[in-house]
C-alpha cells in the first residue's frame, strides 16, 4: 500500500478548507441532494463494487450486497435528517429589556465544525469505510471529508472514492468536498493537520488510542470519535435457560460466528448459571458451526494467539469447537471459565479476541455475577436474557453503566440504522459519549454557534424567522414543531 505524501495532504486539506464554507452555507435541499446522489451512484455500481470487495475481503456476495444496501440506506437517512431540521437545535431567546439583567436577542444553531478526517475499518468495507457512517454523518453536518483508506481493501477504497467524488461533482458540490489518502503515516499526519477539525475512527484499541493521543496532543486539540474494543457481555438467568435454553444456545452460536466473529458487537463473554446445562446446549450447536477466512493476515495471525492467551489461564476449558476449517480459515471455538476467575483476572479473561470465539462464564449466585460484571470494561452492547419472575434490577443497573445499548431479546450482532440507535459506550468501546450509527451520529461533527442581536440579513438562513416557521425550534423556552 502506498503512502500519500505530506505535500498531497496539504493540497487536499487546502481544497477541503476552501469547500468548507460552501458546505456550511448549503441549503438542506442541496445537502440532501448530494447525499442521495452518492447513494444512487453506489447502488448503480453495486455489481462492480461487490466483486472488488469479495476479492479483497472474502466476505461473500450476499453479505457484501447487504452491506452496500446498509451504506446507501444510511446516506439516505442522513438526507432525511438534514431536511427534517431538528438536528440543528435551533433556539431563540427574544430580547427583553425588562429582564434582570436585560436580555439581548440570542439565536443558537449547530453548525459544521469544518473538514473531517474519517478512518476506514477493516470489517465493514462499505458501511464503516470510504462512504460509511462517519463520512455520511460528517457530510450531512455540512463538512468536507478526507478519508484514510484501510490497507485491507485498497482497490475497493479507490473505486468507492472515485464514485463518491464523481457523484458530488455531478451534483454541483465544490471541489475539495471529498478525498482519499493512504498509509499509516498519512493517517497520522491527517489527524494532526491544522485544517482537520474532527476525526472518526473504527478499529483496534491500540490504533485508536494512538490516533486519539495525536488528536488531543495537537497545539489545537480536536475531538476524536473512536470506536475501539468491546466484549459485549451477555447475562442469562437460570429461568431463561429453563424456559428457552435451546433457542438461546442456538442464537448465541449464530451470533458469535456471524461474519466469522469479526463484528464489533459479537457477544464475547456470556455469563451463564452454573449447573443449568447451558454449556452442553451450546456445544450441541457449536460442533456443527463453520468458520472461514479472516479479513487480513494480521487478524488471521492474531486469532490463535488470542485463543492461546485465554487458554493459558488455569480456569479456562474448551467447551466445543466447530467443524475443521479449510487451510487459512478460523475454526469456531467456545471456551468456559468461572465468575470468580473473571473477577480476579479480568485483564486476561476479558481481553477482546477478534474472531469466532466466545467465553462462557459460570456464576453460582448473584454476588459472583455482580462482582464479575463490575470487572467488565465499557462495551457497545450488553444483553440480558431473563424471565418475568426474575429479580434482575441489580444486574440491569450494572449493564446500563457498562454499555451504550442494552438488549432484552435477540443478540447484539446487527445494528439497525435508525433515529434512535446508539452505537457507542464507555471506554474502551468508544472515546466519547456519542454514537457512530444512527441519526444522532451527526452530532459529532457539529458545534454550537450563537448570534447576539444579529441583523436578519446576516443570520444563517435557518435562523431567520421565515425559516423558523417551517423548522422545529425552541423560542423563549417553548418547543415549537411546525
Cell numbers found for residue 70: 446498509
Asked if residues 308 and 400 have their Cβ atoms less than 8 Å apart, the reply is no
Give SS3 for 161.
Answer: helix
Q: Please enumerate in sequence order all residues whose Cβ is within 8 A of that of 69, keeping only pairs 6 or more positions apart, or say none.
A: none
| Nearest in space to 16 (alpha carbons), one of 162, 138, 120 | 138
Active site residue 264: yes
**d(C-alpha 273, C-alpha 275), whole Å:** 6
Q: CA 179 → CA 130, 145, 365, distances in Å? A: 9, 7, 55
Asked if residues 442 and 85 have their Cβ atoms less than 8 Å apart, the reply is no
Asked if residues 452 and 104 have their Cβ atoms less than 8 Å apart, the reply is yes
Indicate which residue of 182, 264, 352, 353 is catalytic: 264
Active site residue 456: no
Asked if residues 32 and 82 have their Cβ atoms less than 8 Å apart, the reply is yes
Indicate which residue of 56, 227, 352, 368 is catalytic: 227
Cell numbers found for residue 254: 449464530
| Nearest in space to 129 (alpha carbons), one of 71, 73, 187 | 71
For the purposes of burial, counting CB atoms within 10 Å of the CB of 103, is it exposed (0-12), middle (13-18) or buried (19 or more)? middle
Start-to-end C-alpha separation, the chain: 52
Which amino acids are annotated catalytic? 227, 264
Amino acid at each position: 500500500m502506498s503512502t500519500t505524501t505530506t505535500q498531497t495532504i496539504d493540497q487536499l486539506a487546502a481544497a477541503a478548507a476552501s469547500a468548507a464554507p460552501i458546505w456550511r452555507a448549503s441549503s438542506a435541499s442541496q445537502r440532501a441532494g448530494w447525499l442521495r446522489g452518492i447513494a444512487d451512484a453506489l447502488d448503480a455500481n453495486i455489481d462492480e463494487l461487490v466483486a472488488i470487495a469479495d476479492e479483497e475481503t472474502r466476505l461473500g456476495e450476499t453479505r457484501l450486497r447487504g452491506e452496500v444496501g446498509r451504506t446507501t440506506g444510511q446516506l439516505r437517512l442522513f438526507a432525511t435528517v438534514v431536511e427534517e431540521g431538528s438536528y440543528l437545535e435551533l433556539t431563540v431567546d427574544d430580547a427583553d429589556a425588562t429582564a434582570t439583567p436585560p436580555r439581548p436577542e440570542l439565536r443558537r444553531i449547530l453548525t459544521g465544525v469544518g473538514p473531517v478526517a474519517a478512518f476506514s475499518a477493516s470489517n465493514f468495507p462499505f458501511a464503516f469505510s470510504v462512504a460509511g457512517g462517519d463520512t455520511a454523518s460528517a457530510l450531512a453536518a455540512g463538512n468536507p471529508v478526507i478519508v484514510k483508506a484501510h490497507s485491507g481493501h485498497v482497490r475497493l477504497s479507490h473505486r468507492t472514492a472515485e464514485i463518491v467524488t464523481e457523484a458530488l461533482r455531478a451534483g454541483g458540490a465544490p471541489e475539495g468536498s471529498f478525498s482519499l489518502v493512504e498509509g499509516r503515516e498519512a493517517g497520522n499526519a491527517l489527524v494532526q493537520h491544522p485544517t482537520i477539525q474532527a476525526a472518526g475512527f473504527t478499529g483496534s484499541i491500540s490504533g485508536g488510542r494512538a490516533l486519539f493521543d495525536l488528536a488531543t496532543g495537537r497545539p489545537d486539540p480536536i475531538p476524536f470519535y473512536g470506536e475501539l474494543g468491546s466484549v459485549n457481555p451477555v447475562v442469562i438467568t437460570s429461568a431463561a435457560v429453563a424456559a428457552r435454553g435451546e433457542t438461546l444456545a442456538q442464537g448465541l452460536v449464530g451470533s458469535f460466528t456471524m461474519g466469522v466473529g469479526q463484528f464489533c458487537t459479537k457477544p464475547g463473554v456470556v455469563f451463564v448459571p452454573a449447573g443449568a446445562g447451558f454449556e452442553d446446549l451450546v456445544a450441541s450447536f457449536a460442533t456443527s458451526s463453520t468458520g472461514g477466512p479472516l479479513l487480513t493476515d494480521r487478524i488471521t495471525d492474531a486469532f490463535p494467539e488470542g485463543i492461546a492467551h485465554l487458554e493459558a489461564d488455569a480456569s479456562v476449558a474448551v467447551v466445543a469447537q466447530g467443524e475443521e476449517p479449510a487451510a487459512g480459515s478460523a475454526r469456531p471455538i467456545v471456551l468456559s471459565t468461572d465468575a470468580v476467575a473473571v473477577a480476579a483476572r479480568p485483564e486476561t479473561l476479558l481481553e477482546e479476541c477478534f474472531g469466532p470465539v466466545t467465553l462462557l462464564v459460570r456464576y453460582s449466585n448473584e454476588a459472583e455475577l455482580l462482582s464479575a460484571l463490575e470487572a467488565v470494561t465499557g462495551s457497545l452492547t450488553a444483553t440480558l436474557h431473563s424471565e418475568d419472575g426474575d429479580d434482575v434490577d441489580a444486574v440491569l443497573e450494572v449493564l446500563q453503566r457498562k454499555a451504550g445499548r442494552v438488549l432484552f431479546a435477540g443478540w447484539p450482532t446487527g445494528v439497525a440504522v435508525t433515529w434512535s440507535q446508539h452505537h457507542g459506550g464507555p471506554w474502551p468501546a468508544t472515546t466519547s459519549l456519542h454514537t457512530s450509527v444512527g441519526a444522532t451520529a451527526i452530532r459529532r461533527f457539529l458545534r454550537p454557534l450563537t448570534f447576539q442581536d444579529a441583523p436578519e440579513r446576516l443570520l444563517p438562513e435557518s435562523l431567520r424567522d421565515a425559516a423558523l416557521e417551517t423548522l422545529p425550534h425552541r423560542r423563549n423556552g417553548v418547543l415549537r414543531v411546525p
